[in-house]
Amino acid sequence: MSELDGGHASTGDLVERRYPPVDVLATIALGLVIVGGIFMASFVPRHVPLFLPVVVLSTAFILLFVAAFLLTRIEDFAWDKFRLVYKWALLAYVVEAGVIAFAFVRDHTHGVALLVLLGMLLVFAVSVPTTIAYTVARFAKGLDGKS
């Protein structure tokens, strides 16, 4: 470290840690529910075939559970940063998902189609904060060696 770089370690001094693909799994889950939502929207106001959206939603939930399991297995992680970022991002995305859910209910979406859409909104509300918080915590340790 030198005074020229502000006392921070250069990228060559950092040891690259291998982390599980929590962010990738959460992002794929998000992508799946986006595709499922677009598929469902393409049929409105007609009857929506639900086989594909249910398969997509189930796959997204499985990916989120795998991501959560992998996340719990990480040692020496900036959990304080993760929790701080996650709780505020989750609050923001739950509010956003709630507004979208209100729009579906107000437009008289009902039955199984509404349940599938609410499940997709749940994946949306959890996957984005997971990706954001995981990325922040993953890179929280680094230049100053503190978490």
- pLDDT on residue 141: 66
Which two tokens mark 30? 């998000």
- pLDDT on residue 119: 97
CA atoms within a 13 Å half-sphere pointing along the CA-CB vector of 143: 6
Q: What is the mean pLDDT of each run of 10 residues along the chain (147 residues)?
A: 50 68 97 95 86 97 98 92 96 97 90 95 98 94 50
Question: Alpha carbon 111 to chain centroid distance?
Answer: 26
